[in-house]
Structure 1
């Protein structure tokens, strides 16, 4: 299991560049099994980041852009 550092601030995603950064961070959290971490801050970051990515993609993407 990878050691994961928590970040202190999670901000709204407003651009595609921020979305790309959010996906990179989410990949790091997934690789470190953040969803199963004993540290509440890590689990919270995983949950909030996932929600922010979902919300941004729902607002900015057409249904045809999502894989079936």
Structure 2
């Protein structure tokens, strides 16, 4: 069943209503733009390391024609 329970309001939180959402959105935007971010959390350090790893692998890939 996909009906909404009548006593539960539908959550529509966004950056305007929830400061945590705004903070997370700013961090994700900074990481995606490869801008420096204060790495205060283990998850942020992991994401930054993953981005660095992906960037490094993308720059070292070379395509050679097969014979």
Normalising by structure 2, we get a TM-score of: 0.35
Q: Computing the radius of gyration over CA atoms, which structure comes out larger, 1 or 2?
A: 2
> RCO (CA 8 Å, sep 6+): is it higher in 1 or 2?
1
TM-score where L is the length of structure 1: 0.34
Structure with the higher helix share, 1 or 2: 1
